Amino acid sequence: MAEHDQLNNNKKQHPSSHDSESDTVKLPARRSQSVTAALAPSTQTEEQAPDEPGLPPKGSKEPTEALSKIKVPETPVPTRPAKVKLQQKEQAASTKGHKNKARELLNAQALRERCRQLCTTTFFREHSTIRSLGFTSATAGEGKTLLALATATVLANDSGRPVTLLECTWERPRLQELFDLPRGQGLAEWLRGECSEEAIRYRVSPELTVIPAGDAAGQAMKLIHLLSERQLLSRLPSSQELFILDLPPLVTSGYGALAASLADSLILVVHAGVTSEVLVSEACAQLRDLPVQGILLNQIESHIPRWIRQLL
């Protein structure tokens, strides 16, 4: 009996994992984390989900901080395609171009009608002896050259008579450039005897002839005196020929008033809203003894409604 109790005490003091009666091995109920990690399989099984693209594979030894370096693309804001914007711009530009073209055609038509009225009252009145109409202004840049050219064109087309556009201003000659005429043969060269009269006459249409100013070489005042003495406008062979004169400005040119005396009738062109009253008064004073037919306001702003102007 004493031996049996001593044996039981030894079992309590020295427990063994091996039970002699059941012959089984008793393991601890929980395992440490290191042991569990050691027993985990080293390869991926079929039931495991595949690795996501752009992420390190499972079991990789890369630090987790690498995930924070991956940039997630931002969702793009939907915008209109560039082609659509380009088409809209082209359509807007085309619409604006059509409006500008329509406005220019309307202005050109109004200009032709005004020039037609001017020609009728000047050359086709009963018992009229006027053969030349001159366009002058107070200063340069008021539109007298354009009005002279438009009047000569309308007169040549409507009257059926030969018309000559004579450029008598050497300050800023324009006809040579507008009609692409050769240099070296103009009114100045003819007055100096350097070429014949036929050489300076350029026919630009069946009834319209242009005589450019040429190169005055600083002798504009002398050339005007020669033109007055030779009486070019009265001795030309065709008695039916009509003249439109592009004259120099009166205030800013020293020979403006002398050149204006060459024409049978005069039109003073004034840039509306730009030319001052002082300059207009001075120009009228220089034309006091000359046959002034009237003052023409150029580029005046019309207050007539557009729908009425379209009917005119």
Express each pLDDT in 154-172 by its tens digit: 999 988 889 999 999 998 8
- Under the banding of pLDDT at 50, 70 and 90, the label for residue 40 is very low
The rounded mean pLDDT for the chain is 75
Judge whether 154 lies within some domain: yes
Express each pLDDT in 197-222 by its tens digit: 889 999 999 999 999 999 988 889 99
69 vs 62, 66, 75, 83, 266, CA distance in Å? 13, 5, 18, 37, 87
Domain hosting 175: range is 98-310
Q: What's the CATH number where 280 sits?
A: 3.40.50.300
Indicate the number of domains in the chain. Answer: 1
- What is the reported pLDDT for 18? 45
- What is the reported pLDDT for 238? 54
Higher pLDDT, 79 or 214: 214
Residue with tokens 């504009």: 220
Higher pLDDT, 278 or 78: 278
pLDDT at 309 over 70: no
pLDDT at 242 over 80: yes
Judge whether 295 lies within some domain: yes
Say if residue 185 is exposed, middle or buried (CB neighbours under 10 Å; 0-12, 13-18, 19+).
Answer: buried
> What is the rounded distance in angstroms from the CA atom of residue 184 to the CA atom of residue 49?
95
Judge whether 22 lies within some domain: no
φ, ψ (nearest 5 deg) of residue 90: -65, -40
Judge whether 159 lies within some domain: yes
Q: Comparing C-alpha atoms, which of 193, 129, 138, 204 is closest to residue 165?
A: 204
- What is the reported pLDDT for 127? 79
Judge whether 2 lies within some domain: no
Express each pLDDT in 102-145 by its tens digit: 666 767 777 888 888 899 889 888 877 888 999 999 999 898 99
Judge whether 73 lies within some domain: no
φ, ψ (nearest 5 deg) of residue 38: -70, -30
Judge whether 152 lies within some domain: yes
Q: Does the reported pTM lie above 0.75?
A: no
Residues 6+ apart with CB under 8 A from 260: 134, 136, 247, 250, 266, 286, 287, 290
Q: Are strands 208-211 and 202-205 parallel, antiparallel or unpaired?
A: antiparallel
- What is the reported pLDDT for 6? 53
> What is the rounded distance in angstroms from the CA atom of residue 292 to the CA atom of residue 63?
101
pLDDT at 152 over 90: yes
Judge whether 243 lies within some domain: yes
